[in-house]
C-alpha cells in the first residue's frame, strides 16, 4: 500500500472517530436542554463560521447559488436528519442509534434509481434485504421499550440519504466551501421552526429555556469536532480516494459502542451487536460490488 493511501486511511479513521465523540457530547446534554435547541445552536455556530470563511475566500459572489431551491432541499434534509438523530441519541443507547443510522448507504443506493436515474444493481437489492434483517434485530429491544421513538434513527437515515442524493444533484455548482456554507445556512430556518414548534408543543422535554453556559460550550465543542471530522475525512479522501476510505466510516460504530459503554454505561446486548454487524455487512456488500474506475490509481495529492 502506498504511503498516501496509508495516511489517507488514517486521516479518515480519525475523522469518523471524531464524529462519534461529538455524538457522545450531544448525549451528555439529555435532560438539560431540548434536543431541537441543541441542533439549532450547533448548526448556527457552524453556519456563522462557514459563512465568515466563505466571505473571506470568495466575497459576495460566493453567496449566490445557481440553484437556490436545490440548496433549500439540501438544507431541509440536513435539518430533518440532524433533528431526528439528536433526538434519538437523547433516549437511545448511542450504539443502537448509530447502527440504525448506518442504513443510509443502502437507502442511497436504492433511491438513486428513481431519483437520479441510476441503475439499481442486484447487489443493492441483496444488501437491502441483509440490512433489513439487521434493522429488525437492533429495533427489537428498543421498539418494545421506547415505542415509535426508536424509529427516529431510521427517519434520520432516510433524510440523510435524500441529502446525499441532493448533494450528487448539486455537484459542480460551487466550491466545496460554498456548498458546505449553503447547506448549513439553508438548514437554519427549518431548525428554528422545529425548535419553536417543540417549545410551543407543551412537551416538557422540548421546552426551550435559557441554557447553562456548559450547554453552550458543549454545542460549540460539537460544532468544532464536526468541522474537524469533515476536514480530516476530506483530506483522507483526497489522499486515498473515496472508494478506499469508504469502509473506514464503520469506525464510528466501534467508537460509539466504546463511548456508550464507558461514558453512559450502555452495554449493547448480543442482538444489537449482531444487528449492527449485519447492517455493516450490508454496507460492505455495496462497497465491494461498486464498479471501480478504470484508472484506479488516479488520485489527487495533498501536500506532496
Rounded CA gap, 292 and 197, in Å? 46
More confident residue, 265 or 172: 265
CA 20/CA 243 separation, integer angstroms: 21
Cα–Cα distance list, 282 to 8, 25, 130, 134, 270 (Å): 24, 28, 6, 9, 18
* Dist. CA 162–CA 165, nearest whole Å: 5
Instruction: Summarize the confidence of residues 210-222 as an average pLDDT.
Output: 94
Which residue pairs from 6-9 have beta carbons closer than 8 angstroms and sit at least 24 positions apart in sequence? 7/239, 7/240, 8/235, 8/236, 8/237, 8/238, 8/239, 8/240, 8/241, 8/244, 8/245, 9/236, 9/240, 9/244, 9/245, 9/248
Share the mean pLDDT of the chain: 84
Q: Give the list of residues 6+ apart from residue 154 with CB closer than 8 angstroms, or none.
A: 100, 103, 135
Q: Is the pTM of this model over 0.85?
A: no
Q: Please state, in angstroms and as integers, the Cα–Cα distance from residue 107 to each residue in 20, 27, 127, 234, 249, following that order.
A: 21, 26, 10, 23, 16
* Residue ranges per structural domain of the chain: 3-289
User: pLDDT tens-digit profile of 230-263?
Assistant: 888 878 877 877 667 777 788 888 899 899 999 9
**Mean pLDDT, range 222-234, rounded to an integer:** 87
Amino acid at each position: 500500500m502506498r504511503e498516501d493511501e496509508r495516511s489517507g486511511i488514517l486521516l479518515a479513521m480519525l475523522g469518523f472517530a471524531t464524529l462519534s465523540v461529538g455524538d457522545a457530547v450531544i448525549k451528555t446534554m439529555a435532560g438539560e436542554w431540548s434536543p431541537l435547541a441543541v441542533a439549532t445552536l450547533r448548526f448556527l455556530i457552524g453556519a456563522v463560521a462557514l459563512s465568515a470563511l466563505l466571505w473571506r475566500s470568495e466575497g459576495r459572489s460566493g453567496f449566490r447559488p445557481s440553484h437556490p431551491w436545490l440548496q433549500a432541499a439540501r438544507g431541509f434534509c440536513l435539518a430533518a436528519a440532524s433533528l431526528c438523530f439528536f433526538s434519538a441519541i437523547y433516549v437511545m443507547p448511542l450504539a443502537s442509534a448509530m447502527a440504525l443510522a448506518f442504513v443510509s448507504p443502502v437507502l442511497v443506493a436504492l433511491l438513486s434509481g428513481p431519483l437520479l436515474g441510476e441503475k439499481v444493481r442486484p447487489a443493492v437489492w441483496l444488501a437491502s434485504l441483509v440490512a433489513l434483517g439487521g434493522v429488525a434485530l437492533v429495533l427489537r429491544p428498543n421498539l418494545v421499550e421506547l415505542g415509535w421513538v426508536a424509529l427516529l434513527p431510521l427517519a434520520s437515515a432516510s433524510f440523510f440519504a435524500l441529502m446525499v442524493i441532493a448533494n450528487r444533484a448539486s455537484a459542480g455548482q460551487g466550491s466545496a466551501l460554498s456548498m458546505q456554507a449553503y447547506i448549513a445556512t439553508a438548514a437554519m430556518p427549518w431548525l428554528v421552526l422545529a425548535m419553536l414548534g417543540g417549545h410551543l408543543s407543551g412537551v416538557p422535554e422540548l421546552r426551550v429555556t435559557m441554557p447553562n453556559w456548559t450547554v453552550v460550550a458543549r454545542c460549540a465543542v460539537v460544532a468544532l469536532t464536526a468541522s474537524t471530522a469533515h476536514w480530516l475525512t476530506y483530506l483522507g479522501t483526497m489522499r486515498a480516494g473515496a472508494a478506499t476510505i469508504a469502509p473506514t466510516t464503520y469506525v464510528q460504530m466501534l467508537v460509539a459502542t466504546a463511548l456508550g459503554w464507558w461514558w453512559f454505561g450502555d452495554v449493547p446486548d448480543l442482538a444489537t451487536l449482531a444487528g449492527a454487524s449485519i447492517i455493516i455487512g450490508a454496507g460492505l456488500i455495496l462497497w465491494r460490488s461498486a464498479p471501480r474506475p478504470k484508472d484506479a490509481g488516479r488520485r489527487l495529492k495533498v501536500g506532496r
